[in-house]
Amino acid sequence: MGVMSRKDLLLFLGFTVTVLAMPIWLQPFGAAYPDLLQRFMIFGIFAVGFNILFGLTGYLSFGHAAFFGVGSYAAVWSFKLLSLDAIPAMLFAIVVSGAFALAIGYVSLRRSGIYFSILTLAFAQMSYNLAYSVLTPITNGETGLQLTLSDPRHLDAAIGQAAGGQPIPTLLGQSLGGFAGFYFCAGFLILAFFIAQRITGSPFGMMLKGIKSNQTRMNYTGFNTKPYTLAAFVISGMYAGLAGALLAVTDPLAGAERMQWTASGEVVLMTILGGAGTLVGPVIGAWLIKYFENIFSAINEGMLHRFFDFLPDGVDSAFVAVTRKFVGEGWFLTLGLVFVLIVVFLPGGIMEGVRRIAGLFSRSRRAPTVPGQAVRQPQPAE
Partner 1 sequence: MTLLKRGPSRRRVLQTGLAGIIATGVAPAIFTRGAWAQEFCNNPTGDTVTFGLNLPLTGAYAEEGADEQKAYELAVQHLNGEGDGGLLPMLKPSALKGNGILGKKVAFVTSDSQTKADVARAGATRMIERDGAIMVTGGSSSAEAIAVQGLCQEMGVIFMAGLTHSNDTTGKDKRRYGFRHFFNAYQSGVGLAPVLAQEYGTDRRAYHLTADYTWGWTQEESIKNATEALGWQTVQAVRTPLGAADFSQYLTPILNSGADVLILNHYGTDMVNSLTQAVQFGMRDRQANGKDFQIVTPLISELMAKGAGESVKGIFGTSNWHWNLQDAGTQAFTKSFGAKYGSPPSQAAHTAYVQALLYADAVERAGTFYPPAVIAALEGFEFDGMGNGPTLYRAEDHQCIKNVLVVQGNESPTSEFDVLNIVQEIPREDVAYDPAMFGGDLGPAEPVPMCA
Measured between alpha carbons, how far is 173 from 175 in angstroms, rounded to an integer? Answer: 6
99 contacts partner 1 (rule: CB under 8 A): no
Helices (H), 251-300: 261-274, 280-295
Query: Smallest gap, in angstroms, from Cβ of residue 108 to partner 1?
Result: 23
Of 73, 183, 233, 287, the residue at the interface with partner 1 (CB under 8 A) is 183
For partner 1, the closer CB: 29 or 106 = 29
- For partner 1, how many residues bind (rule: CB under 8 A)? 60
Of 117 and 215, nearer to partner 1 (C-beta) is: 215
**C-alpha span between 348 and 261 (Å, rounded):** 24
Closest approach of partner 1 to the CB of residue 144, in Å: 5
Show the beta-strand stretches assigned E in the chain: 145-146, 170-171, 174-175, 253-254
Between residue 214 and residue 253, which ones bind partner 1 under the rule CB under 8 A?
Answer: 251, 253
Closest CB 85 distance from partner 1, rounded Å = 17
Q: Which of 160, 164, 173, 314 binds partner 1 (CB under 8 A)?
A: 164
How near is the Cβ of 338 to partner 1 at its closest, in Å? 20
Q: Is residue 153 part of the contact set for partner 1 (CB under 8 A)?
A: no
Distance, in Å, from the CA atom of 104 to the CA atom of 234, rounded to the nearest integer, reads: 9
Residue of the chain from 48, 186, 245, 267 that contacts partner 1 (CB under 8 A): 186
Nearest residue to 102 via CA among 262, 275, 229, 189 = 229
Q: Which of 36, 34, 42, 31 is nearest to 178 (CA)?
A: 34
> Which residue from 39, 64, 80, 212 is in contact with partner 1, where contact means CB under 8 A?
39
Over the window 103 to 142, marking each residue x when it contacts partner 1 by CB under 8 A and - when it does not, the resulting string is: -----------------------------xx--x----xx
Q: Rounded to an integer, what distance in angstroms lies between the CA atom of residue 91 and that of residue 96?
A: 9
Assess 88 for contact with partner 1 (CB under 8 A).
Answer: no
129: Cα within 13 Å, side-chain hemisphere: 5
Q: Is 179 in the site for partner 1 (CB under 8 A)?
A: yes
Q: Is 323 in the site for partner 1 (CB under 8 A)?
A: no
Residue 360 to residue 100: CA distance in whole angstroms: 45
Please name the amino acid found at residue 200: T
Q: Which of 88, 187, 265, 353 binds partner 1 (CB under 8 A)?
A: 187
The binder of partner 1 chosen from 9, 138, 158, 311 (CB under 8 A):
9
Residue closest to 101 by CA, chosen among 53, 142, 138, 149: 53
Q: Is the dihedral of CA 271, 122, 133, 80 positive or negative?
A: negative
Q: What 3-state DSSP class applies to 261?
A: helix
Q: Sign of torsion, CA 230 233 235 238?
A: negative
Residues 254-313 that bind partner 1 (CB under 8 A): 255, 257-258, 294, 297-298, 300
33 belongs to the binding site for partner 1 (CB under 8 A): yes
Q: Do 71 and 244 touch, CB atoms closer than 8 A? A: yes
Distance CA 182, CA 41 (A): 8
CA 143-148-152 angle, 5° bins: 125
Question: Exactly one of 168, 171, 199, 338 binds partner 1 (CB under 8 A); which one?
Answer: 168
Decide whether 204 or 307 has the Cβ nearer to partner 1.
204
Residue 167: closest CA among 249, 244, 87: 249
Q: Does 1 bind partner 1 (CB under 8 A)?
A: yes
Residues found near partner 1 in the complex (CB under 8 A): 1-4, 9, 12-13, 16-17, 20, 23-24, 30, 33-36, 39, 132-133, 136, 141-144, 146-150, 164-166, 168, 177-181, 183, 186-187, 190-191, 194, 203-204, 206-207, 251, 253, 255, 257-258, 294, 297-298, 300, 328-329
